[in-house]
Structure 1
Amino acid sequence: MLKKLKKLFIYESPSNQEREFRFPENPGETATWDIYRGKQENLEKYMDNSGSGKDQDINNDNDSEYEGKGSEHNKKDDRSNNDSQNNRDEKKEKSKKNDEQSDDRDTRDKSDNQADESESNEREANEREDNEANSEKRISENDNDHENEVNTPRVIIKTLRSHKPITVEEMIKESMRKKREKFKNSKAGNNGKNQKDDRNEDAPKLKNVSHSLKENIEYLENLYKIPANKDLIIRKFNIARKIPACLVCVDGMIDRRIVIQFALPELMDESNFKDYDPGKEYILDYIERNVLTIDQLVRMKVFDDINPQIVSGLTALFIEGCDECIIMESRGFEKRSVTHPVTETVISGPQEGFTEALRTNITLVRRIVKSENLVTEFEFLSKRNNFLCAILYMDGITNPRLVDEVKRRLKNLEIDYISGSGMLEQLIEDKTNAPFQQIIATERPDRVASFLMEGKVVIICEGTPFALAMPITFFDLFQTSEDSNLRWQYGSFLRIIRLLGFLLATFLPGMYTALILFHQEMIPTSLLSSIVASRAPVPFPTVLEILLMEFSFELIREGGIRVPGVTGNTLGIIGALILGQAAVQAGLVSPVLIIVVAVSGLGNFTVPSYSMSLTIRIIRIALILFGAMGGFYGISAAFTILMAFTLNMKSFGVPFFAPIAPFTRSNKDKIIRGPISEQTYRTDFLNTLDKKRMATEPRGWMRGDGGAENDQGR
């Protein structure tokens, strides 16, 4: 018994052949000894690194110890290995004899039954350890790679109880083998393409619909976090009271009348299946042809396609024994009714605007474009949000390469969440750092219809009342849907007013700054004297004065937009008047500057596009700073940089300043709008399939009988 205790608590010093630090063979059984000896930390590091760090140090030390010995070391290596093997065998026999003798003495000394039981348990544990060590030794001896290692000195490790010798190389091999098995198992169980499986390891790994209804239900319950998630409805029932099935839908997104009155009663009624023969007809075919009266039924097999349909308000029918499901139309959530457009008001023209419902918006467009060539394709975007959008284009008019480019950009979006059309616009435009927009947004169905007939592509998104049209040019930003409803003279005049307003809003404050600071000789004497007199009480320099007024004007405009109701417009007008008058009386600004800022602000309001008006504000501030630094030379430099950047812009391959730069054939509908009867061709830069939009003389009544030469036309 005393020898046993000595073996447990006294560490034997290593022999000369057994160099370097030694680890116990079985860390679990010798943890108490490691804590006692203070080697627990080293042991944990060894097991974590699988022998990589310590064994490398051992090998490095041994290599350095044997450096310089040359060929003598290689000759003695075989002899030392044989000697060490003989020593291990002798020690093994001695340890067995010592164990047997100590066991006999212990059994004679112990008369207590409890001591006998503990000793027998300990002996059985030692036998198990010996068996495990022998098996590991047989594995290591059968390994041919171990015999071919290059001149690596053997380092012997002993366990504390059995003193079973094992080499460091064998431990490294065993740990590496376990690591490889663990890596293979983890690689086989992981799927890098499906990130949802990593978040939900307990969920069944299904990609396609299974024949087992139970597996499909378990997959959906794990995917939608049932029972924590209360929105998903899984209605189990029996078709014709025989075949198990279930309906899956999202509460609040469906019209319950469709499910309760048309789907469930028809599927559960036995009379609807009296002519059904399982041996002759597939049950899904029979249900589609003879049972369900719902208008839209689609079959799907892949869960990646089924899940977006379920969360969008459709209902999925799963049947036992079928490896596909039926998706039926059942959407019935609340939505806003069609109202007047808010941001694009017109006097002459339709007064309907888009809503947040995708189907309603498509219907508003189809009410105007009543053509079989109008194609609508749906696409789900984003990884988690399943953002639904519709791609609209005219088959036979729109360039197919343009349609393919739009689809390519949409399908290659890698983002979790898209809030609406504004966010989508930034994700698919050519240059995100460009000052001007490359995609136009509109909330008017009539304007979308005109874009489609010109050969452009339109994207309508779910949950937003704005449609995106592409490609566009600089001149499209100054057009409104009201232009086509007015005579060409009126429309051309309004477009010129908008262009002048754009120029005033952009350049007037910067030019005023340049004239006051650098080019006073260009101002008439009488006007210059009045400006100097009005600026006499102002304590601020011209640059600070104009920036202060611009900032105040932006505050009033932004505050008027954010205040709800009619109060916002009243606040903007009254606030500007009161603030301007008070600033002049206090001597903070000059009256001339108030006029300059007011005129530039009014010019900004003439621009139809809201995004374009924001661009004008930014450019105006930049021109003020350049004018303050260099006068007209600074403004010219800033304008040159802006034009060089803008001329290099493209919107889906179309130059931003087409048809002027580069010059191409136009349809006489840019700045100066020609008569409708003369707009024979579509714009050339779109490369439409059908170039001609009308006959050379579209007014057929001008030719032949009943024409201008006949009294019937008078």
Structure 2
Amino acid sequence: MRKRMTKLLKKSLNTEPEFKEETNAEEIEIKKQDISTHIEKNLDTFKSLFSIPNNADVKLREFTIQQLNRKAFIIYISTMADLKAIMDGIEGPLIDSEHPSTKIQDIVSYPLEKTATKIGDITEFITAGVTALFVDGDSNCYLFETTKIRGRSIEKSDNEVIVKGGKESFNEKVIDNIALIRKKIKNENLLVEAQKISKRSRNSVFLVYQKDLVNDDLLKNVKERLNSFDIDSTLDLSILEQMLEERPKSLFPTIVYTERPDRAASFIEEGHIILLMENSPSCLILPATFWAMFHSPEDHYLRAPYGNFIRILRFFALFVAVFTSPIYLAITNFHVGMIPPDLLMAIAGTRERVPFPSIVEVLMMEIAFELIREAGLRVPSPIGPTIGIVGALILGQAAVQANIISPIVIIVIALSGLSSFIIIDISMNFAIRITRFLFIFSAGFIGIYGITALFIGGLFYLVSLKSFGTPYFAPMTPHSFSSKDLLIRHIPMKERFRPGYLKPKDMVKQRKG
């Protein structure tokens, strides 16, 4: 009996509570209906749906169309619509026009976007900034694309800074972002598909790809993943990124996040799919590989020798950022025989009066470095760099003089921290910084053997990762046909093929002359 009660109690604890939706069922039913031909009924319906006059920025204006001698009204959200266009192109002509035509689209001077009959569809258009026109006796609602949302202009990218190449970056207006991509890819095969992914906020995600390049199975996979969401709101691409990943708890990202339209365009030209959203100054690139996280647009803008030099330096910095502190710990604690006698005596001399073991020293300074880095990012920009430089100098010097930290640890931590700044991808940067702490603990536990074990285990884990069916280390392993743009890039004339792991419809991007 006791065992049965225990099982029932565990079952009840593991069951998610069920919450009933308290939304007005009558309102939901109204949205499923078509509009009435009687204008008074439509007035009452939309006043109720938009809580007019309590809703301050929703405007409803009644008037009579002189040419038709029929009552009408328009409804729009004043904070999202172009008021001058509404007055001059829609409302003005309808009231004052003496045009002999009986068709609305012939009377107004503003282009008619479309017509709709279902109340739910019309409310969605209005909340997106569209102006809706209702005419007495007409079973259709006329919709005009008057959206004019204020926002930031096109500026430079703050997170992906390059010396040579384009300086434009995405902003919060998806119309501008799509235009930036179309400016770089002037091709009729470039498709922009809109897909709603949330119920209440009605957020849309835009899939951008080239239909004559993208693999149909990949496109179907992405669309199915987007359709599988049953959520009320997704306000930003950063949240969508976490929902799309197969392993959202993984340290290593499997989707490329970028603010640069030139980088997005280059991936589209290879057969990738990118995702855009309103209010997000960035895009997501699907699928992604380990190599895409480390490549920078500047690698291709520079001449091949210069670009390869920067790329090799970046990969070297990756190993310095991850292994400098762990190797110092491993050698000084477990493998002192590897150090030349003179260097060993110098290290021992600097640590003679330090009361803490090496791992405590390293962890204290690593955490201090991370605190200074985050403080420099969060404070206002004029004093941010000052906090970073002055804080590091004062903290390091004071720690050494107080015999809390040895000078060589300051050098090790500074070299490791500075190297991590070279990694441009934000998510990969975080992954490397967190991985460094894991290697520090493994080195403090069993030295080089701990580092080696964690490194091999990490490689096994990374090889198991996939991004929408694409192996993380492709095309290196499993090997697939590509332009071999991995560690070393070739001159542009030799990069003739698109990545084979994407299975694009056209593999050749540059024919021989």
Equivalent in the alignment of 2:85 = 258
Could you give the per-residue CA deviations for residues 655-677 of structure 1, whole angstroms, max 9, x where no partner exists?
Answer: 01101110111213221000110
Quickly say closer, same or farther: Cα 1:203–1:381, change in 2 above 3 A. closer
Q: What's the counterpart of residue 493 of structure 1?
A: 309
1:568 aligns with 2:384: yes
2:70 maps to 243
Partners of 1:258 and 1:439 in 2: CA distance: 41
Question: Which stretch shifts more, 517-526 or 611-620?
Answer: 517-526
Alignment of 1:170-569 (within 5 A): 198-199=23-24, 201=26, 205-211=30-36, 212-239=38-65, 240=67, 242-269=69-96, 271-272=98-99, 274-276=100-102, 286-288=103-105, 290-295=106-111, 297-569=113-385
Aligned pair in 2 of structure 1 residues 408, 202: CA closer, same or farther (>3 Å)?
A: closer
Distance 1:342 1:406 in 2: 29
Aligned partner letter, 1:557: R
Is the contact between residue 232 and residue 248 of structure 1 (CA under 8 Å) also seen in structure 2?
yes
Question: Residue by residue, what CA displacement relative to the aligned partner does 1:305-338 show, whole Å, maximum 9, x if unpaired?
Answer: 3323211211112233334322211112321111
d(CA) in 1 for partners of 2:467 and 2:459? 16
Gap change, CA 1:223 and 1:200, over 3 Å in 2: farther
Task: Specify whether residues 241 and 299 from structure 1 end up closer, same or farther in structure 2 by C-alpha distance, changes over 3 A only.
Answer: closer
C-alpha distance in structure 2 between counterparts of 1:213 and 1:316, whole Å: 13
What residue in structure 1 maps to residue 421 of structure 2? Answer: 605
Which one of the candidate residues 397, 408, 424 is aligned to 1:592?
408
User: 2 CA distance for matches of 1:648 and 1:215?
Assistant: 60
Alpha-carbon shift at residue 291 of structure 1 (Å): 2.4
The equivalences for 1:4-153 within 5 A come to none
2:35–2:119 CA contact under 8 A, matched in 1: no
Once the 2 structures are TM-superposed, how far is the Cα of residue 252 of structure 1 from its aligned partner? 0.9
Query: Deviations 1:131-183 (Å, cap 9, x if unpaired)?
Result: xxxxxxxxxxxxxxxxxxxxxxxxxxxxxxxxxxxxxxxxxxxxxxxxxxxxx
| Structure 2 gaps, min length 5 | 1-19
Q: Which amino acid aligns with 2:401?
A: Q
SS of residue paired to 2:269: helix
Change (3 A) 1:611 1:514: same
Q: CA deviation at 1:270?
A: 5.3
Q: Are the equivalent residues in 2 in contact too, given 1:209–1:325 (CA < 8 A)?
A: no
Letter in 2 for 1:594: I
Report the Cα offset of residue 599 of structure 1. Answer: 0.8
> 2:477 corresponds to which letter in structure 1?
A
- 1 CA distance for matches of 2:167 and 2:419? 25
User: Which digits, 9 at most, give the CA deviation of each residue in 1:327-363, with x for residues without a partner?
Assistant: 2111123211111111111111011111111111111
Q: Aligned-pair distance for 1:572?
A: 0.7
Q: Paired residue for 2:434?
A: 618
Contact 2:251-2:431 at 8 Å conserved across structures: yes
Q: Once the 2 structures are TM-superposed, how far is the Cα of residue 380 of structure 1 from its aligned partner?
A: 2.7
Measured in 1, the distance between the counterparts of 2:317 and 2:196 equals: 41
Any conservation in 2 of the 1:209–1:216 contact (CA below 8 Å)? no
* Offset, 1:457: 0.6
Shift of 1:297: 0.7
Shift of 1:454: 0.8
Q: Is the 8 A contact 2:30 2:119 kept in 1?
A: no
Larger-gyration structure (1/2) = 1
1:655 to 455, 461, 471: 471
Cα shift at 1:680: 0.8
Partner of 1:682: 498
Q: Secondary structure at the match of 2:62?
A: strand
SS of residue paired to 1:205: helix
Rounded Cα–Cα distance in structure 2 between residues aligned with 1:574 and 1:646: 38
Change (3 A) 1:436 1:203: closer
CA shift in 2, pair 1:588/1:310, >3 Å: same
How much has 1:225 moved relative to structure 2? Answer: 2.4
Q: How far apart, CA to CA, are the structure 1 residues paired with 2:380 and 2:27?
A: 50
Q: Secondary structure at the match of 2:208?
A: strand
1:460-513 alpha-carbon deviations (Å, 9 max, x no partner)? 111121111111100111111111111111111111111111111112211211
Q: Secondary structure at the match of 1:682?
A: coil
CA distance in 1, matches of 2:334, 2:120: 66
Contact 1:237 1:245 in 2 (8 A): yes
Paired residues, what number?
492
CA-CA distance at 1:241 after TM superposition: 5.3
> Deviation of residue 230 (structure 1)?
1.8
Describe the SS at the equivalent of 1:696: coil
Q: Is the 8 A contact 1:358 1:460 kept in 2?
A: yes
Query: For residues 174-217 of structure 1, what are the alpha-carbon distances to aligned partners after superposition, in whole Å with 9 as ceiling and x for unaligned?
Result: xxxxxxxxxxxxxxxxxxxx967x33647863413322333333
Residue identity opposite 1:543 in structure 2: I
Alpha carbons 1:203, 1:223 under 8 Å: kept: no
| Aligned 8 A contact 1:510 1:635 in 2 | yes
Q: Deviations over 1:242-279 (max 9, x none)?
A: 2232212112111101110100122234522x343xxx
Instruction: Letter of the 2:90 partner, please give it.
Output: A
Task: Decide whether the 8 Å contact of 1:472 with 1:656 is kept in 2.
Answer: yes
CA contact under 8 A between 2:255 and 2:286: conserved in structure 1?
A: yes
CA distance 1:662–1:615, change in 2 (3 Å): same
Instruction: Tell me the secondary structure at the aligned position of residue 271 of structure 1.
Output: coil
Superposition RMSD in Å: 1.9
**Greater share of helix:** 1
Q: Helix, strand or coil: the match of 1:403?
A: helix
Aligned amino acid, residue 207 of structure 1: K
Contact 1:382–1:417, Cα closer than 8 Å, also in 2: yes
Give the alignment of 1:153-168 within 5 angstroms: none
Contact 1:648 1:655 in 2 (8 A): yes
Distance (Å, rounded) in 2 between the aligned partners of 1:512 and 1:321: 83
Deviations 1:522-562 (A, max 9, x none): 22221111111111111111111110000100011001111
Q: Which amino acid aligns with 1:287?
A: I
* Equivalent residue for 2:443, pick from 617, 624, 627: 627
Please say if residues 208 and 323 of structure 1, whose CA atoms lie closer than 8 Å, have aligned partners that are also in contact: no
TM-score (norm: length of structure 1):
0.67
